[in-house]
Amino acid sequence: MRNVEIQVLPLDSEDNGGLDGPFHLLRLRDGATVGHSDIQLVSRPTSDRRELQILELRYGIIRAQALRPRTSLSYIEKLLEET
């Protein structure tokens, strides 16, 4: 799919923007953004501008720390060969 990029963030990366738990950022057709966080027993959506800004910053950090898409593909292919 042309609108999908896969990037692998190796687990040996000690500091990464995703250590506080999984989250999702959804861009709606009207241009609005909605965030969703999952932290152990808490799962909640947010449209608070400050919280969205934090999630967007963390998303950028994660993408910067992850392998580039082509390198991620090579990494995945290598893992598949090993299994």
| pLDDT confidence of residue 74 | 96
Residue-range domain boundaries for the chain? 23-82
Query: If we measure between CA atoms, which residue out of 79, 57, 56 comes closest to residue 10?
Result: 79
Q: What is the pTM of this model?
A: 0.80
Report d(CA 46, CA 82) in Å as an integer.
Answer: 41
Give residue 71's pLDDT: 97
Tens of pLDDT, residue by residue over 13-54, are 677 778 788 899 999 999 999 999 988 788 999 999 999 999
Using alpha carbons, list the distances in angstroms from residue 25 to 54, 60, 64. Answer: 11, 11, 17
Query: Pick the residue with more confidence: 38 or 67?
Result: 67
Spatial distance between the Cα atoms of 10 and 66, rounded to a whole number of angstroms: 7
CB-based burial of residue 55 (10 Å sphere; 0-12 exposed, 13-18 middle, 19+ buried)?
A: buried
- In angstroms, the CA 71 to CA 83 distance is 19
**According to the model, what pLDDT value does residue 37 have?**
92
